[in-house]
Chains A and B, each alone.
Chain A
Amino acid sequence: MAEFKDSAPRLVKPKAQLKEHISRMLGGERLKACYSCGACVGNCPVARILDRFRPLRIILETKRGLEEELVKGEPIWDCAYCFICQDVCPQQVSFPDILFAIRNLAARKGNIPQGFMTFSRNVYDSGRSVPLDEFMLEDREDLGLPQLESPIPKKALSDIRKIMKITNFKKLIKPK
């Protein structure tokens, strides 16, 4: 009798921690309700052009507790946040919210894509995600549009900087 060889990948021992953690987070409550129907994958415009991105796979990996693999990997940053998966889910699971929770874990481990960093620093520095330059201000003047303050008024800027400090967001984005 031929020796039975198991070529299937070994099941990693589930770590319940991640699942419990995400389930307690805002928007993550319905994680355990997912019954793997795959409607999120079938309707996902990114999945159609990118093999490595499958919302359901990320949900299953979250349930299995594969935190390291998730937070270090690239797929968690592929989502376009179009919210179609949330609207088609028969179980009212909000994949976009679950993904936010996973990305927040990744951010705390230092995995923040450069573009996200730049955007956030712009908001910290000027209150706007698109910093105004003199060409934009000239354009607005030529078009007869009301002028914008840059940075935004002092009180507004100090408000959002304070928020970013209280929540430790500032530490994550390391502004100049």
Chain B
Amino acid sequence: MRYLFFLGCTAPTRVQGYELSTRKVLPALGVELVDEPLFTCCSPAPIIPSIDFLTSLAITARNLCIAEEAGSDIVTLCNGCYGNLSTAIHQMEREETREKVNRILAEIGYEYKGKVKVKHVTQVLFEDVGIEKIKARVKRPLPLRIGAYYGCHLIRPEEALTFDYSEVPTKLDQIVTALGAESIWYESKFECCGGTLRGFNDDISVELGRRKLVNLDKANVDCVAVTCPFCFLQFDRGQVAITDRYGEEYNIPIFTITELIGLAMGYDPTDLGIRLKAIDASKILERIFPSVSV
């Protein structure tokens, strides 16, 4: 299995633990990741399409064309990139739209043909690697109660995304369970974390994040598993903002799914970038590595 690695803008600059752990875990599970320097920002909802929808579609389509020319499908780290690239593919299935976009792309020497597939890292783990293979590679089962969080753009809008059912998705929970952990149900599990409004409308964004953390706290989870750098920032750095604003402390460590898989496969936490969190995760590491002081 070979994929062009669509890094996006946020993971490689602000959530490096996600990128680092993915670069360790996926190749070890037989997935080759190929870097592509010609990719640009995916032009995500809601920012660039809010100013001009067609511009956004053309920028996204250009990224798809690069993968078409390379003859490889794309894997993304970020839910935003995944949702945006997938939605563009869906929209350009309509000939009229594809022609409009291609008229712009012709000016820069590209043509979108509709030959490329886009998958999220979590999707590659579930579909290409598979639960059984992940289970077989677990060296240290995680003795943890984990709140799995899909985010929005991994599952919605369902008509454009291929990962899971949007009303009750289960695939991330299945991966979490394969690691020996317990996947805990919590209220508002499939609702927005507020990450898209982070930095644009902090009043709403912080409150949306807080409401989710309240529910995760009520469910008594040890930590949270996310699949998106924005959800990560919203829950991890967001807890600092919540303490500043409301004086509330939750102290719930946040992990990306690839970090958790890496830990279960026996990788050293340092090699996975686990220290790069605002909320200290050492109490979790102590439970996974009881004899080692970390």
Which residues of chain A have a CB within 8 Å of any CB of chain B?
A: 25-27, 45-46, 49-50, 77-84, 86-87, 94, 96, 100-101, 103-104, 107, 112-113, 115-116, 119-120, 123, 127-130, 132, 136, 139-140, 143-146, 148-149, 152-153, 155-160, 162-164, 166-169, 172-173
Contact = CB atoms under 8 A, between A and B. Distances in A.
Given A87-B157, A100-B53, A81 B46 contact: yes
B273 interface: yes
B38 interface: yes
Contacts of B10: 129-130
Contact of A155 (B38, B58, B83): B38
A107 B107 contact: no
A115 B41 contact: no
By secondary structure, the A interface counts as helix
B152 A116 contact: no
Given A128-B41, A160-B62, A84 B152 contact: yes
Nearest to A146: B35
Interface string B30-53: 000001011111011111111111
Contact of A156 (B40, B43, B153): B40
B38 A167 contact: no
Interface residues of B, number: 62
A123 B48 contact: yes
A79 B111 CA distance: 33
Contact of A167 (B46, B62, B104): B104
A159 B59 CA distance: 9
13 contacts: A81-B152, A83-B156, A96-B45, A96-B46, A104-B52, A107-B50, A139-B16, A148-B7, A152-B37, A159-B62, A160-B40, A167-B54, A169-B52
Contact of A107 (B52, B157, B188, B201): B52
B116 interface: no
A120 B51 contact: yes
Contacts of A156: 37-40
A152 B35 contact: no
B104 to A, nearest CB: 6
Nearest to B208: A45
A51 B91 CA distance: 32
A172 B40 contact: no
Given A49-B208, A82-B152, A164 B62 contact: no
Nearest to A49: B207
Contacts of B113: none
Given A94-B157, A140-B12, 19 more contacts: A25-B53, A26-B53, A26-B91, A45-B188, A49-B207, A83-B157, A103-B51, A104-B51, A107-B52, A115-B200, A119-B48, A123-B43, A127-B41, A129-B9, A129-B10, A156-B37, A157-B40, A159-B110, A166-B107
A29 to B, nearest CB: 10
4 closest A-B pairs by beta carbon, nearest first, are A82-B192, A83-B156, A81-B46, A169-B55
Contacts of B152: 81-84
Nearest to B66: A156
Given A87-B167, A120-B51, A166-B107, A127 B40 contact: yes
Contact of A45 (B107, B153, B192): B192
A58 to B, nearest CB: 14
Nearest to A97: B53
B157 A80 contact: no
Contacts of B107: 162-163, 166
B70 to A, nearest CB: 14
B194 interface: yes
Contacts of A168: 52
Given A78-B204, A107-B52, A163-B62, A84 B156 contact: yes
B158 interface: yes
A80 B204 contact: yes
